[in-house]
C-alpha cells in the first residue's frame, strides 16, 4: 500500500474507532466491551505514523509537495487528538489513570513480545551453530575414516602383489 493510501486507511480507522467508542463508552460495563476498538485505534494511529515515515515508491515531487506534507502532518495531529480524546473518555468513564494503565500494559506486552522474538532468534542461532559444529565434526570424522579405509586398501592391494 502506498503511504498516502495507508495514511487514509489509518486515519479512517482512527475516526471509526473513536466514533464507536464515543457511542458506546457510557453503556460499556467494562473496558473489554470497547477493547477491540481501542486496538483498532492503536492500529490506525500506527498506520498514520508509518505512512508519514515511509517514503519508498513516492516521487520526490509527491513526497515533498506542500499538499503531501500538510496532509501527513494534519493526519498525525488528528490521530493524536483522537487518541487524547479517547484517553479522556476512558479515564472519565472508568476512573483516572485507566488510560495510563492501558498504555503501560500495552508497552509491557510489546516489550515482552520483542524479548520473546529476540530469545527465539538467539535460540535458533544457537541451534544452527550447534548443528554446524556437529556437521563439521561429522565431516572431520568421515574424512579420517575415509583416509584410514584408503590406507588399508592401499596396504591390502600392495601386500597382495
Kindly give the confidence (pLDDT) of every residue in the chain, 161 residues in length, as a single tens digit, with 9 standing for 90 and above.
Answer: 455 566 678 888 899 999 999 888 888 888 888 888 999 999 998 888 887 776 544 444 455 566 677 888 888 899 999 999 999 999 999 999 999 999 999 999 999 999 999 999 999 999 999 999 999 999 999 999 999 999 999 888 887 76
**What is the model's pLDDT at position 70?**
81
**What is the model's pLDDT at position 157?**
83
DSSP 8-state assignment for residue 32: G
**What is the model's pLDDT at position 2?**
55
Cβ-proximal residues to 11 (8 Å cutoff; 6+ apart), any chain = 44, 48, 75, 78, 79
Percent of the chain that is helix, strand, coil (3-state, to 5) = 90, 0, 10
**What is the model's pLDDT at position 24?**
86
Amino acid at each position: 500500500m502506498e503511504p498516502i493510501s495507508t495514511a487514509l486507511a489509518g486515519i479512517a480507522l482512527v475516526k471509526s474507532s473513536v466514533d464507536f467508542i464515543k457511542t458506546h463508552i457510557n453503556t460499556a460495563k467494562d473496558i473489554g466491551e470497547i477493547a477491540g476498538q481501542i486496538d483498532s485505534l492503536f492500529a490506525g494511529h500506527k498506520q498514520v505514523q508509518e505512512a508519514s515515515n515511509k517514503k519508498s515508491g513516492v516521487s520526490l515531487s509527491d513526497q515533498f509537495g506542500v499538499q503531501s506534507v500538510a496532509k501527513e502532518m494534519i493526519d498525525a495531529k488528528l490521530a493524536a487528538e483522537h487518541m487524547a480524546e479517547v484517553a479522556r473518555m476512558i479515564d472519565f468513564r472508568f476512573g483516572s489513570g485507566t488510560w495510563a494503565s492501558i498504555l503501560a500494559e500495552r508497552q509491557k506486552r510489546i516489550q515482552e513480545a520483542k524479548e520473546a522474538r529476540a530469545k527465539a532468534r538467539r535460540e535458533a542461532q544457537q541451534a544452527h551453530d550447534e548443528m554446524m559444529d556437529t556437521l563439521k565434526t561429522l565431516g572431520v570424522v568421515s574424512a579420517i575414516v575415509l583416509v584410514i579405509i584408503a590406507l588399508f586398501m592401499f596396504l591390502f592391494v600392495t601386500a597382495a602383489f
